[in-house]
Amino acid sequence: DIQMTQSPSSLSASAGDRVTITCRASQSISSYLNWYQQKSGRAPKLLIYAASSLQSGVPSRFTGSGSGTEFTLTISSLQPEDFATYYCQQSYSTPFTFGGGTKVEIK
């Protein structure tokens, strides 16, 4: 199985800050990498697919980059509604696997 490792596991930031989350795969997954946002008690929401494609309706302050084994999710200017937990997920091969999550908290 492909292991997905996210860092950091949590971070504190203020509204307006630039935030970067990293996701590493245990083997190359090309660009088969997706990012989700989960708010407490809710189902996840797809933000970025294929490493860098913005899902319809998602604000442009979210950007994804990377390929191979290293990927990043960047929020250019953190908004109050962005405080949540973020997960990466590989769709390269089954079993599909997720990173452990990054909780973005208010500083």
Partner 1 sequence: QVQLVQSGAEVKKPGSSVKVSCKASGDTFSRYIISWVRQAPGQGFEWMGRIIPIFGTTNYAQNFQGRVTITADESTSTAYMELSSLRSDDTAIYYCAREGETAAAGTFVYWGQGTLVTGSS
Residues that bind partner 1 (CB under 8 A): 1, 32, 34, 36, 43-46, 49-50, 55, 87, 89-92, 94-101
Q: How far is the CB of 83 from partner 1 (least distance, A)?
A: 17
CB within 8 Å of 9: residues ≥ 6 apart: 100, 101, 102, 103
Nearest to partner 1 of 32, 71 (CB atom): 32
Q: Which residue has the tokens 């504190």?
A: 12
SS3 content of the chain, % helix, strand, coil (to 5): 5, 50, 50
Shortest Å distance, C-beta 56 to partner 1: 9
If the CB atoms of residues 83 and 92 are measured against partner 1, the closer one turns out to be 92
In the bound state with partner 1, the residue whose beta carbon lies nearer, of 66 and 99, is 99
Burial zone of 29 (CB within 10 Å; 0-12 exposed, 13-18 middle, 19+ buried): buried
Minimal distance, residue 89 CB to partner 1, in Å: 7
